[in-house]
Structure 1
Amino acid sequence: MNFLFKADYTIQKVFNNNVLLVTQKNSEKILFGKGLGFGKHFGDILSSKTEIDKIFSLDDKTNYHNFKELVTTVDNELIGLCEEIIFMISKELNEDLNEKIHISLTDHIAFTLKRLKQNDEIINPFLVETETLYKREFEIAKKAVSMLEKKLNIIIPDGEIGFITLHIHSARNNGKLSNTIKYAFLSNSIIELIEDSLDLEIDTGSIDYARFITHIRFAIERLINNTPIRNELIDVIKKQYSDSYTLAQKVCNLLASELQLNVMEDEVAYIAVHIEKFKHAS
């Protein structure tokens, strides 16, 4: 969708041919539009008739100051590229993102590129969990990495897709990332516990794995929000899958310890069924 300016804008910085930092009545905004910055310079005035594709505002004072600081330390072209990526993300999701992504994602990408130049190894232990939990964001993160690779002529490790996925997910959830990281950490720890206890390797590409990780994600949310589920087959599961139930108790003890919350037997029973499927799939 195109927008028309309601008033003239004064250019503060030209990031690239498509992205500008401007002011309007002492309010700074980031503008995106094809060719919008071509031939433009600091202090130029944009006519109110100029058409653009997207206006990003930084209304929070902390975000505003952090972005201003970022502009002084990160290359203009890279900031412009990151803004193009953010525009792509917003367009793909067809929704506005939390404004903090203009700082967090750009800062993250700048730091990643610095590490790559130094030949530092980038490892993401939660890549599979992240892809399983946030499929939509993960697919968009792939496009973001592709844009970076094409523009910068570099190869970026797959683990970076997972990190960008978390930034996208955070931007869709009021800028919150802590629970996302907690989901990934707990999921990874639980899988390791099950694999070690059963002496097997779980196929992370299987439907059983995807279902289990999804179940754990929502189990954590249920525990945090105190919205337990019912399981009418607890006694049957205990009897038929006694070993799996015992292991499920260990899993739930881990959840309880990390979240500082009690886990009901109903949840233990559901997890036992998932564990039993892992045993027969091996």
Structure 2
Amino acid sequence: MKNSPPSDYKVIKIFNNNVIFASQDKDEKILFGKGIGFGKHTGDIVPSTIVVDKIFTIEDKSNTKAFNELVNNIDSDLMGLCEEVICMISNELNEVLNEKIHVSLIDHITFTLKRLRENDEIENPFLVETETLYKNEFEVARKAVSMLEDRLKISIPDGEIGFITLHIHSARNQGKLSNTLKYAFLSSTIVEFLEDALNIEIDRQSLDYARFLTHIRFAIERILNNTPIKNELLDVIKKRYSTSYKLAKKAAKIIENGLGLEVIEDEIAYLAIHIQRFKSSLA
């Protein structure tokens, strides 16, 4: 028995000449193709055989509802531009993104533009941490901001690159933006605690700093996923780096309070090694 050919698309809305929003059977889809929207109107039929550059499908009911609210409340040209940004992100990373990005990122960009128009200052306290933790996503976010600046003829603060980075990272990880924010927030809080405790200023551009943030990120993931690691040097570290280990226990307490989960001694010992590196770099 042969499979039935796919149904044609029915236009829901034209975003711009190159991006349209359409339905196919029970799914809502965003279609990208040069000139695909030219001369088209709501309700028009687009054959399923049409050649397109990319198709995004929104299947989750809550995402469908939220996306349609955006469509009804945001200028079509801006929706089209945001979708072109998302398409660029997907192409740059060469992977399928979680469909929630069509809601979360577009909503974020819209709110950001509103604040810029109102001269409301935009600050990002986690910009350095975000760039260090998510280098690939940060570079793609930089391109996204450039696209927005070029098309909208506006200047966007650097902090916005960091915010878009978090949305991109979330879209690569099943849409879990909350965990992404936890990495940045807990990392920043721990570094500030160490700077106060050691009376130092940690170089955000140093290799030790990058290693430390990476360790915090993966430590949090291990704790959340309940996949502990074994540290064979636990007793040696506790004895040789006793001061750093005490600080690591306090840093671990920050993580425990943030996650509501216990940090085991083996993990604390690895934290102590990184803290010792910070101390040694100042000796």
- The aligned amino acid for 1:14 is I
Identical-residue share of aligned pairs (%): 66
Shift, 1:139, TM fit: 1.2
Worse-superposed segment, 174-183 or 109-118 = 174-183
- The aligned amino acid for 1:44 is D
Worse-superposed segment, 78-87 or 35-44 = 35-44
Aligned CA distance change for structure 1 residues 247 and 14 (closer, same or farther; 3 Å):
same
Worse-superposed segment, 129-138 or 191-200 = 129-138
What is the number of residues matched between the two proteins? 278
Distance between the aligned counterparts of 1:259 and 1:86, measured in 2? 31
Distance between the aligned counterparts of 1:58 and 1:223, measured in 2? 32
Aligned CA distance change for structure 1 residues 229 and 27 (closer, same or farther; 3 Å):
closer
Distance between the aligned counterparts of 1:25 and 1:247, measured in 2? 59
SS of 1:52's equivalent in the other structure is coil
- The aligned amino acid for 1:170 is S
Q: Structure 1: any 5+ residue segments left out of the alignment?
A: none
Distance between the aligned counterparts of 1:227 and 1:47, measured in 2? 49
Q: Partner residue of 2:265?
A: 265
Distance between the aligned counterparts of 1:253 and 1:26, measured in 2? 49
Q: Partner residue of 2:212?
A: 212
Aligned CA distance change for structure 1 residues 230 and 47 (closer, same or farther; 3 Å):
closer
SS of 1:160's equivalent in the other structure is helix
Residues 67-102 of structure 1 deviation map (CA, whole Å, 9 limit, x = unaligned):
111111111111000110111111112221111111
Alignment of 1:13-162 (within 5 A): 13-25=13-25, 27-162=27-162
Worse-superposed segment, 59-68 or 43-52 = 43-52
- The aligned amino acid for 2:68 is K
- The aligned amino acid for 1:246 is K
Shift, 1:9, TM fit: 2.2
Distance between the aligned counterparts of 1:179 and 1:196, measured in 2? 26
When the two chains are superposed, the root-mean-square deviation of aligned CA atoms in Å is 1.6
- The aligned amino acid for 2:188 is N
Distance between the aligned counterparts of 2:236 and 2:25, measured in 1? 69
Shift, 1:250, TM fit: 1.0
Shift, 1:198, TM fit: 0.6
Shift, 1:26, TM fit: 5.1
- The aligned amino acid for 2:255 is L
Distance between the aligned counterparts of 1:89 and 1:18, measured in 2? 16
Distance between the aligned counterparts of 1:116 and 1:110, measured in 2? 10
Q: Partner residue of 1:190?
A: 190
Distance between the aligned counterparts of 1:47 and 1:178, measured in 2? 40
Distance between the aligned counterparts of 1:26 and 1:253, measured in 2? 49
Distance between the aligned counterparts of 1:28 and 1:179, measured in 2? 28
- The aligned amino acid for 1:253 is K
Q: TM-score w.r.t. structure 2 length?
A: 0.93
Q: Partner residue of 2:277?
A: 277
Q: TM-score w.r.t. structure 1 length?
A: 0.93
Residues 89-117 of structure 1 deviation map (CA, whole Å, 9 limit, x = unaligned):
11112221111111111111000000000
Shift, 1:259, TM fit: 2.0
- The aligned amino acid for 1:243 is T
Q: Partner residue of 2:199?
A: 199
SS of 1:15's equivalent in the other structure is strand
Distance between the aligned counterparts of 1:24 and 1:273, measured in 2? 56
Q: Structure 2: any 5+ residue segments left out of the alignment?
A: none
- The aligned amino acid for 1:207 is L
SS of 1:20's equivalent in the other structure is strand
Aligned CA distance change for structure 1 residues 199 and 52 (closer, same or farther; 3 Å):
same
- The aligned amino acid for 2:12 is Q
Shift, 1:227, TM fit: 1.9
Aligned CA distance change for structure 1 residues 28 and 265 (closer, same or farther; 3 Å):
closer
Distance between the aligned counterparts of 2:25 and 2:229, measured in 1? 53
- The aligned amino acid for 1:123 is E
Q: Partner residue of 1:247?
A: 247
- The aligned amino acid for 1:120 is D
SS of 1:180's equivalent in the other structure is helix
